[in-house]
Amino acid sequence: MDLDEMKRIFVETNIVLMSVTFVVSCLHSVFEVLAFKNDIQFWRNKETMEGISVKTLYFQIFQSIVIFFYLCDNETSWMILLSTGSGIFMEIWKIKKASKITKKDTFPYFIVEDSDTYIQSDTKEFDDIAMGYMTYAAIPIVFCYAIYSVMYNSHKSWYSFILNTLVGCIYTFGFINMTPQLYINYRLKSVEHLP
């Protein structure tokens, strides 16, 4: 951005709008840092996966990666990419805490297995049931949204179409992602395992 563009922004933009935008951006950054801090604090002290939907963790990392590629495809600012990328690393760290990762000599060079505390608790059974229901609900929704996106939206390429469709589903139907954890909480009659 050159000097003339900066001058134009400060001269032509309403000072109240610019001030509110600055304050909201600063607050958003502060709240994001606090959320990262609390997430790290919770997961660092977590020793058992009882009451936690591990399958939701796997789904969240998939969502984070799709959103990151979508932001890259749309040439988003480095600040947002950095925040999203650090979120991906946080999700990977959570999966390392929640699962056993075993190295292999062949591709994909590692195996992710459920931890013993997760398998031995009722949580795994409830998580499997809830994830099954979520899958039955999500697949037709994604399929219908993909048809809608092909018919009514324009895309740069097939890669862009896939990313836009997946991100649209994530943003629109992301609440479905909470289903396994809500079902586990209902069946265990407890939320003591959550942050």
Tell whether 27 and 112 lie within a shared domain.
no
* Residue pLDDT, tens place only, 90-142: 999 988 888 888 888 888 788 888 887 777 788 888 888 888 888 888 888 88
Q: Are residues 144 and 81 in the same domain?
A: yes
**Does residue 96 fall inside a structural domain?**
yes
pLDDT tier for residue 2 given thresholds of 50, 70 and 90: low
Residue 164 has pLDDT above 70, yes or no: yes
Q: Is residue 193 part of a domain?
A: no
**Least confident residue range of 21-30, 156-165, 173-182:** 173-182
| pLDDT at residue 3, as a whole number | 75
Is residue 194 in some structural domain?
A: no
Count how many domains the chain has.
2
Same domain for 107 and 34?
no
- The answer on 41 and 97 residing in a single domain is no
Q: Is residue 23 part of a domain?
A: yes
- Is residue 178 domain-shared with residue 88, that is, in the same domain? yes
- Mean local confidence (pLDDT), 15-24: 87
Report the C-alpha gap between 69 and 75 in whole angstroms: 10
Helix-then-strand count for the chain, H and E? 8, 2
In whole angstroms, give the CA distance from residue 153 to residue 17. Answer: 31
195 located within any domain: no
In terms of domains, do 2 and 87 share one? Answer: no
Residue 92 lies in a domain: yes
Say whether both 39 and 70 belong to one domain: no
pLDDT at residue 6 in the model: 73
Q: In the prediction, which pLDDT does 195 show? A: 62
As given in the structure block, the two tokens for residue 182 are: 């809500």
Same domain as 94, residue 60:
yes
Confidence bin at 183 (pLDDT 50/70/90)? confident
Instruction: Please tell me whether residues 75 and 160 are part of one structural domain.
Output: yes
Average pLDDT of the residues in 76-85: 85
Domain extent, residue 27, equals: 1-45
Q: How much is the pTM?
A: 0.79
| Mean pLDDT for the chain overall | 85
CA distances from 130 to 7, 35, 57, 125 (A): 55, 26, 14, 9
pLDDT at 23: 92
Residues 69 and 26 in one domain: no
Kindly tell me if the per-residue pLDDT of 194 is higher than 80. Answer: no
For residues 91 and 144, membership in a common domain is answered with yes
Instruction: Note whether residue 153 is domain-resident.
Output: yes
pLDDT band at residue 1, thresholds of 50, 70 and 90?
A: low
Closest CA to 184 of 63, 62, 44, 54: 54
pLDDT tens-digit map of 43-75: 888 888 888 888 888 888 999 999 999 999 888
Residues 178, 92 share a domain: yes
pLDDT of residue 123: 83
